[in-house]
């Protein structure tokens, strides 16, 4: 057995810095990033995808279900109402299952396709691109925005800057009102807020989230992705050589450099030039300001903007597309990407298992909660008839959204006398306290402690039935 540790020779990555004499320094992460507009298949898909989820975010709190807001996460009442499902603090395990399923879904997607969550679904990215869209429409293209910021304040610059910030604040306020509308009735929230009659905490929450949205999408932008978001830090633990990520084909692109458009690829190859013409469009369209040609970087959010930009340049040069593409390290090295691999299969199996358990929890959930509290003043008492009596309080929680009638019965206590209401009406979401007493002849009690059970059954829902154990005490 050798005592030596095997050493793997890893060649250092050659970082190509743009020539500052040919390109300005506005795109570097050390300065403000002026994102250039880009067109392409991935950009169209990202916009469509973002529009769908943005529409869902804006529409869902306005939906009505059986006369009430379909989705209402009422923290004050400790009740989450999701269409026909009502979750209570007692249902915390369901929320835990939901978070577990979401986590493994994220792990599975990241292992397969890298940080596509960040590039196509993350709210930070979506709202950043919305703000950039307003910026382009009001202040102009990338070069026009650079020149506008460089010149001194005049009437035109003041008007454009004012319109831009008014649009940004409006988007932030609508976003905040919609978000807070998930936690309080949204129709009343909009009316009360714009008539200055909303409650103190509702106003504070709306203003707080509006400031957060404005600050994140207008100023923080890539800083959230590169310095604050923890996802960028631990994503490398889920990557492998077969993970699809945005990557630059260095073997095909190097040596990079400008060349006449009329020159053929063969003529350029004879001069030692690859397909990359060093136009830096891939850098200018990147929302985090990185150069994808420097290799895999944690700042890359896999939005695919550089792919569309590079493909557009390749079309103009009559070169094949794919110099920058969604590919794997294995494929770049000339191998074949393995889709079905143990790591990905493991995540898929766990995801399916967790999802099945979540569905099972939802289907087996009983929309009824019962808590039995014994009288703490006396273990038992003797009535005038010589019977032994125990006093209980039944706390019945109707976890559904409808009024239900419940029947109460006692099992396992022969010869008992039930004192109190054996049928009650409980409103949807109400906790009903029912005091009752159970009396029995002491000659029928063989032990000091007799175990029995209460059965609470709904007249409307046959699945809403609970058998709750309790004890009858004597001596």
CA distance 332 to 323: 11
Helix and strand element counts for the chain (H, E): 16, 16
Query: Model's pTM, two decimal places?
Result: 0.79
CA distance 57 to 131: 17
The half-sphere exposure of 283 on its side-chain side, counting CA atoms within 13 A, is 19
Structure tokens at 116: 């596509």
- What local confidence, expressed as pLDDT, does residue 293 receive? 92
- What local confidence, expressed as pLDDT, does residue 6 receive? 60
Class of domain 368-473: mainly beta
- Residues whose CB falls within 8 Å of the CB of residue 11, separated by 6 or more in sequence, listed in order: none
β 71-74/245-248 pair status: unpaired
- Which residue matches tokens 């030692």? 272
In order of 192, 218, 255, the CA distances from 296 in angstroms are: 49, 27, 19
Residues of the chain with CATH 2.60.40.10: 368-473
Length of the chain, in residues = 475
Mean pLDDT by 10 residues, the chain (475 residues): 56 49 46 87 91 93 88 86 82 86 92 89 91 94 92 93 96 96 94 93 95 93 86 78 92 89 86 91 92 88 92 92 92 88 93 93 85 86 90 90 90 90 88 92 88 92 88 87
Q: To 10 degrees, the CA torsion angle through 83, 89, 90, 92?
A: 80
- What local confidence, expressed as pLDDT, does residue 295 receive? 86
- What local confidence, expressed as pLDDT, does residue 2 receive? 54
SS3 letters for 387-422?
CEEEEEEEEEEECCCCCEEEEEEEECCCCCEEECCC
- 3-state class percentages of the chain: helix first, strand second, coil last, to nearest 5: 45, 20, 40
Give the CA angle between residues 61, 67, 71 to the nearest 5°: 25
Q: How many Å is the maximal CA-CA distance in the chain?
A: 113
Q: Are 35 and 287 in contact (CB under 8 A)?
A: yes
Tell me the backbone φ, ψ of residue 372, rounded to 5 degrees.
Answer: -110, 125
Q: In 243-383, which residue ranges form alpha helices assigned H by DSSP?
A: 250-253, 265-270, 281-284, 305-316, 329-332, 342-363
- What local confidence, expressed as pLDDT, does residue 297 receive? 85
């Amino acid at each position: 057995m050798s005592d030596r540790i095997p050493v793997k020779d890893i060649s250092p990555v050659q970082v190509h810095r743009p020539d500052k004499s040919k390109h300005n320094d506005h795109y570097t992460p050390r300065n403000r990033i002026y994102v250039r507009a880009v067109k392409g298949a991935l950009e169209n898909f990202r916009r469509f995808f973002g529009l769908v989820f943005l529409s869902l975010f804006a529409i869902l709190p306005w939906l009505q279900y059986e006369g009430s807001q379909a989705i209402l996460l009422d923290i004050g009442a400790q009740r989450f109402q999701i269409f026909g499902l009502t979750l209570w603090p007692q249902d915390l395990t369901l929320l835990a299952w939901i978070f577990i399923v979401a986590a493994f879904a994220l792990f599975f997607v990241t292992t397969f396709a890298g940080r596509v969550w960040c590039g196509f679904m993350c709210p930070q990215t979506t709202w950043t691109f919305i703000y950039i869209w307003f910026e382009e429409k009001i202040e102009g293209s990338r070069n026009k925005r650079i020149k506008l910021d460089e010149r001194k304040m005049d009437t035109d610059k003041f008007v454009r800057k004012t319109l831009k910030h008014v649009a940004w604040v409006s988007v932030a306020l609508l976003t905040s009102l919609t978000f807070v509308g998930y936690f309080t009735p949204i129709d009343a929230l909009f009316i009360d807020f714009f008539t200055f009659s909303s409650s103190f905490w509702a106003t504070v929450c709306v203003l707080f989230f509006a400031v957060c949205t404005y600050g994140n999408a207008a100023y923080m932008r890539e800083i959230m992705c590169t310095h604050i978001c923890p996802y960028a830090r631990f994503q490398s633990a889920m990557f492998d050589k077969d993970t699809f990520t945005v990557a630059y084909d260095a073997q095909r692109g190097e040596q990079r450099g400008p060349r006449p458009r009329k020159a053929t690829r063969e003529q350029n190859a004879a001069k030692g030039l690859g397909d990359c013409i060093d136009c830096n469009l891939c850098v200018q369209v990147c929302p985090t300001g990185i150069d994808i040609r420097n290799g895999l970087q944690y700042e890359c959010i896999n939005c695919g903007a550089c792919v569309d930009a590079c493909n557009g340049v390749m079309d103009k040069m009559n070169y094949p597309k794919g110099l920058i593409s969604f590919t794997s390290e294995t494929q770049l090295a000339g191998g074949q990407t393995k889709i079905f691999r143990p790591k990905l299969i493991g995540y898929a199996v766990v995801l399916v298992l967790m999802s099945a358990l979540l569905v099972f929890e939802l289907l087996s959930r009983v929309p009824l909660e019962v808590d039995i509290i014994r009288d703490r003043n006396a273990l038992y008492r003797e009535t005038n008839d010589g019977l032994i009596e125990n006093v209980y309080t039944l706390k019945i929680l109707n976890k559904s959204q409808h009024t239900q009638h419940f029947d109460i019965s006692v099992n396992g206590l022969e010869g008992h006398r039930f004192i109190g209401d054996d049928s009650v009406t409980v409103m949807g979401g109400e906790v009903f306290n029912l005091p009752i007493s159970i009396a029995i002849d002491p000659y029928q009690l063989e032990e000091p402690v007799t175990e029995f059970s209460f059965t609470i059954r709904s007249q409307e829902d046959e699945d809403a039935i609970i058998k709750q154990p309790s004890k009858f005490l004597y001596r």
